[in-house]
Amino acid sequence: MNNKINYKGLVGTFAFASTASFANVTSGILAYIMLTYSEVSATNVTMILTIPAIIGTFFAFISGSLINKIGIKKVAIFVQSCAFASGMIYLFFGNKTSIAVLYVAAAFYGFMTGGSAVTLSQLFKQCVPDDSKRGTFLGYGNSLSSLGGVIASTVGGVIAALNNGAHWERAYLLFFWMLFCLILEIIFLPDPKNVQVEKKAKDKNSGKVPFKVWLISIHYLLFFLFLYAFSLNISAYVITEHQLGTSAQSGLALSCLTVGGIISGLTFGTYSKLLKKKTITFLQAICSIGLGLIIFIPNIYVLYVASALLGFSMMGCNPYVVMELSRITDEPGFAKSMSIYAGFMNGGMMVAVYILAALSTLFFGSADNVDGKFMIAFVGLILVTILSIPLYGSKDKNA
């Protein structure tokens, strides 16, 4: 077996990774979008964040099979092109037409939301065949994705805040970076024939998905459901709920999220080796602490610290789960498992706005209670952290 690293392919892979968090542009300027569409309920405007999760959930479930049929390179280029189209719709039609047009833009971005995790995991598997080295490169990829998110949320927030948010759509000028990345992907991404995968798929026991994959996926759905409370509500928390600043500050808070992710990705190879099976529990405990800080200390600087903790947790959990799925499955089974995992992860984002609103109404009397939603997410994440102990600490056939 050839374990040589494909550095040329990594150029295209890292180019793709750099744009995977560009959804942060929309999260950071959501309050300004709400002001533009003041006649639309807050929940319906927030759908521009949840529609990508809806589309992404369905696409994630088929992306693994699609990759095996038409090749990883074609899928990556398709996903990137849809994300670029989304940004162009926001740029040229946002603030000028009905909210329905923004729903269309959000739907296009859904292919990136649903396809990025599966696509990147497969690209890194192709470029770094050695399992012992791949975790480190996955961490680097997550760090680059986080860096892209920093630029998207910070610069996008500053651009949107000009003239008191009168031209927030200009924040999507940043999406022209995707056009450059598309060119790099066309030139450098590997496009291997999946002969070996097809051969293995013919084996009787090949491609089976262990039950633990479903448990991990459901657990991650819950994790992302509660974690997504941050992205859904950070703009309102900063600008309207506590009046801590403008979209520039909410964008900076999202940047701290991605800074935490960068640090997590760069150090993933080190701390995951030290913590081993306790890695997920440790990371999700950090996430719970971050949400606790947001609830009990409403201060902009504390928010920045809390955001970094959330980013560290999120960007550390993902590569660990990818490596765990790779460990407990064979090659064809890994593609299926990644689709299931990504589908459930996006499912968590898809239902988050509705479940959080319903629970907020039930316990706090209003679907728009931002602090109430954060409290619900805080309690939920504590429970998710506890559940991670038996899930990732348990033994299995491949342990």
What is the rounded distance in angstroms from the CA atom of residue 22 to the CA atom of residue 231? 13
Rounded to an integer, the average pLDDT of 120-133 is 85
Predicted confidence (pLDDT) at residue 380 exceeds the cutoff of 90? yes
Contact 235, 253 (CB under 8 A): no
Query: Of the candidates 144, 141, 119, 152, which has an alpha carbon nearest to the alpha carbon of residue 23?
Result: 152
Interatomic CA distance for residues 237 and 243, integer angstroms:
8
- Percentage of the chain with pLDDT > 70? 94
**Model pLDDT for residues 162-218, shown as the tens digit of each residue:** 888 888 999 999 999 999 999 999 999 987 754 444 444 455 556 688 899 999 999
Q: Kindly list the distances between the CA atom of residue 394 and the CA atoms of 42, 208, 212, 213, 389, in Å, as whole numbers in the listed order.
A: 42, 20, 10, 13, 8
pLDDT computed for residue 195 by the predictor: 42
pLDDT-wise least confident of 127-131, 354-358, 384-388? 127-131
Is the residue at 102 inside a domain? yes
Which H or E element spans position 187? helix 176-188
Residue 399 placed within a domain: no
* Overall domain count for the chain: 1
Q: Pinpoint the alpha helices (H) of 71-130.
A: 72-93, 99-127
Nearest alpha carbon to residue 391 among 219, 209, 226, 135: 219
How do residues 67-97 score in pLDDT, each as one tens digit?
878 888 999 999 999 999 999 999 999 888 8
pLDDT at 398: 47
Residue 339 lies in a domain: yes
Q: Specify the pLDDT at position 196.
A: 47
Calculate the alpha carbon distances from 211 to 62, 208, 325, 379 in Å: 19, 9, 11, 27
User: Quick one: average pLDDT of 13-20?
Assistant: 93
Asked if pLDDT for residue 3 goes beyond 80, the answer is: no
Gap between the Cα atoms of 42 and 305, Å rounded:
27
Question: To the nearest whole number, what is the mean pLDDT of the chain?
Answer: 87
- The CA distance from 346 to 59, in Å, is 10
Q: State the CATH number of the domain containing residue 348.
A: 1.20.1250.20
> What's the pLDDT score for residue 2?
67
Average of per-residue pLDDT across 233-252: 84
Instruction: Decide: 22 and 258 in contact? Cβ < 8 Å.
Output: no
Does 82 fall in a domain? Answer: yes
**Rounded distance, CA 210 to CA 199, Å?**
20
pLDDT at 204: 55
Decide: 166 and 247 in contact? Cβ < 8 Å: no
Residue 98 lies in a domain: yes
- Asked, for residue 398, whether it belongs to a domain, the answer is no
What residues have CB less than 8 Å from 220, skipping those under 6 apart?
Answer: 317, 321, 341, 344, 345, 348
Residue 128 lies in a domain: yes
Report the distance separating Cα 353 and Cα 358, nearest Å: 9
Tell me the residue range of the domain where 351 lies: 7-393
Is the predicted pLDDT of residue 150 greater than 80, yes or no? no
* Overall average pLDDT of the 308-336 stretch: 87
What is the predicted pLDDT for the residue at 1?
A: 52
Ranges 121-125, 193-197, 283-287, 391-395: which has the least confidence: 193-197
Mean pLDDT of 374-399: 85
pLDDT at residue 7, rounded to an integer: 92
Span 280-291, mean pLDDT? 96
One-letter amino acid of 93: F
pLDDT tens column, 159-175: 988 888 888 999 999 99
Residue 49 lies in a domain: yes
**More confident position, 121 or 349:** 121
Is the predicted pLDDT of residue 21 greater than 90, yes or no?
Answer: no
- 0.75 exceeded by the pTM? yes
Residue 366 has pLDDT above 80, yes or no: yes
